[in-house]
Structure 1
Amino acid sequence: MKLLTLNVHGWQEENQMEKLKMLARDIANERYDVIALQEVMQSIDAPIVNKNIKANNYALVLNQLLQELGVNDYDFVWDMAHYGFVTYEEGVAILTRHPIKSSNSFFVTELQDMNNWKTRKIISAAISYQGKELTFFSGHFGWWNDDIAPFKEQIDAFFKHVPESGISFLMGDLNNDANVRGEGFDYVKSNGFYDTYELAKEKDDGLTIKGAIAGWNQNGKEDGRRIDYILCNNPVNVKSSFVRFNGIETPVVSDHAGVAVTLDLEN
């Protein structure tokens, strides 16, 4: 099984359509089983095409580009977390090429004001894979020391939605550095989640942001951090974990790089 998570910085990138096409080509080539996306935007004033999905929803356009490449077996779920970047509805999405048995979205912040960008929601999708029940969550969390919506409040709310049975994956931008002790990364692991990067037999440096970006303005030009993760509530067999879209072997498509892992769930 192949998984990908990526904070896409939707519709905020220079040469956005070309970068979207690069992402679509990578998905078509790699055939990820499940993809978690964050900062998935759609314009407030765009026409509705299906339920809560509007015509320029980033995930919808991505799926349309995949179809143009002859890849027709992906479906997606999306929900809005808050209004962002003035004219957009910002949310999280999950794409998968396996039938979605059920999906859900829920707030993880006590704050539920959609006009406040610190309001956070998680989306989930459940699938069957090789006879196993798998649940995937796509999340974009806040910072450990945030005075309005601290990370601990959010992740504690998330834990309440993890199924008691089966395998669950939390994929996304946790806004907590893996190299900082005693904060969000350590707290998640202390609550029963395993980091697939740490479990991986093959891996690179894992760094998903470099230099100053929104929310990490204090970063030096060469400072790299690992803040995007694929976590699991079971110690699964992880063959590899590699950064994607960091400009080395794959092109830059966002202000974040992505994380791709390959798993063996047969054992």
Structure 2
Amino acid sequence: MKLLTLNCHSWQEDNQFEKIKYIASVIKEGNYDVIALQEVSQLANEKTIYDNIKKDNFAFLIKKELEKIGINDYGFFWDMSHIGYDIYEEGLCIMTKLPIKESESFFISNSKNLNYWKTRKIIKIKVLYNNHYINFYSCHLGWFNDEEEPFINQFDNLKNHIEKEELTFIMGDFNNSATVRDEGYDYIIENEFLDTYNLAKFKDEGTTVEGNIAGWDKNKEDLRLDMIFSSKEIEVLYSNVIFNGKNKDIVSDHFGVEIEINI
């Protein structure tokens, strides 16, 4: 099974339509089973296509590009977290080729006000793979020391939704660096989630953010913010950073992470 996570920073980058085509081409090449996306936006005043999906939904456009290049087997689930940059409905998405048996979204923040940029949701799908149910969560959490929306509270709310008996992957932008001790990363590990980067037989340096980006305006370091965690020990063949200029072109202010696992 191949997994990919990427914070798209959608509609905040240059040449977005070209990047959508490029992301679709990489998905075709990578043949990923499950893809978790964050900062997947659509204009609030754009025309609705179906359900909560509007004409310029970033994930919807990726799916359309995939169909143009002959890939028709990806479904996706998207939901809005909050209004971003005053005009966008910013949300989370999971794309998959596997049969979706359940899907849901839920708040993890104290705030439930969709007009407040710190309001956070998580989305989840349950899929059937080799006669086993597996849960996937696309995650975009807040900062560890945020006084209004502390990371620990958000992660506890996420953890309380997780079905312990089933294999679960939490994927995304955790806004906590894996190199900083006694903060969000260590809290995830203390709560018995396994970092697939550490489990991987082969891996690169792991950096997913270089320098200052939105939300990390004063950062001057290389950070590993984007990660994939497993609720159980599994075999991880490799963990690679992608869309970093070395392994595929840069498409966002975050790089992505791809892994291959045996289940």
* Common topology (TM > 0.5): yes
- In structure 2, how many angstroms separate the alpha carbons of the residues matched to 1:209 and 1:21? 22
Please state whether the residue corresponding to 1:101 is helix, strand or coil: strand
| CA shift digits 1:144-191 (9 cap, x unpaired) | 000110100100000011013210000000000000000100001111
Deviation at 1:249, TM superposition (A): 2.5
Give the ranges of 4+ consecutive aligned residues of structure 1 lying more than 2 Å apart after TM superposition: none
- In structure 2, how many angstroms separate the alpha carbons of the residues matched to 1:227 and 1:208? 6
Indicate conservation of the 8 Å contact 2:241/2:247, yes or no. no
Please state whether the residue corresponding to 1:139 is helix, strand or coil: strand
Q: Which runs of 5+ in 2 are unaligned?
A: none
Deviation at 1:67, TM superposition (A): 0.2
Q: Which residue of 2 aligns with 1:263?
A: 261
Deviation at 1:66, TM superposition (A): 0.3
Please state whether the residue corresponding to 2:91 is helix, strand or coil: strand
Q: Which residue of 2 aligns with 1:110?
A: 110
- In structure 1, how many angstroms separate the alpha carbons of the residues matched to 2:4 and 2:49? 26
Q: Which residue of 2 aligns with 1:164?
A: 164
- In structure 2, how many angstroms separate the alpha carbons of the residues matched to 1:27 and 1:164? 30
Alignment pair present for 1:91 and 2:91: yes
- In structure 1, how many angstroms separate the alpha carbons of the residues matched to 2:222 and 2:164? 35
User: Which residue type is aligned with residue 109 of structure 2?
Assistant: T
Please state whether the residue corresponding to 1:123 is helix, strand or coil: strand
| CA shift digits 1:224-263 (9 cap, x unpaired) | 1000010010011100000000001300010000000000
Q: Which residue of 2 aligns with 1:80?
A: 80
Query: Alpha carbon RMSD of aligned pairs, Å?
Result: 0.6
Deviation at 1:73, TM superposition (A): 0.1
Alignment pair present for 1:194 and 2:185: no
Q: Which residue of 1 aligns with 2:138?
A: 138
- In structure 2, how many angstroms separate the alpha carbons of the residues matched to 1:205 and 1:85? 32
- In structure 2, how many angstroms separate the alpha carbons of the residues matched to 1:65 and 1:159? 34
Please state whether the residue corresponding to 1:59 is helix, strand or coil: helix
Alignment pair present for 1:35 and 2:30: no
Q: Which runs of 5+ in 1 are unaligned?
A: none
Q: Which residue of 2 aligns with 1:46?
A: 46
- In structure 2, how many angstroms separate the alpha carbons of the residues matched to 1:43 and 1:30? 29
Please state whether the residue corresponding to 2:180 is helix, strand or coil: coil
Indicate conservation of the 8 Å contact 2:38/2:173, yes or no. yes
Provide the aligned length of Structure 1 versus Structure 2: 263
Please state whether the residue corresponding to 2:22 is helix, strand or coil: helix
Alignment pair present for 1:67 and 2:92: no
Following superposition of structure 1 onto structure 2, how do residues 140-155 of structure 1 map, counting pairs within 5 Å? Answer: 140-155=140-155
Of 224, 228, 231, 1:230 maps to: 228
Q: Which residue of 1 aligns with 2:173?
A: 173
After TM superposition, the score normalised by the length of structure 1 is 0.98
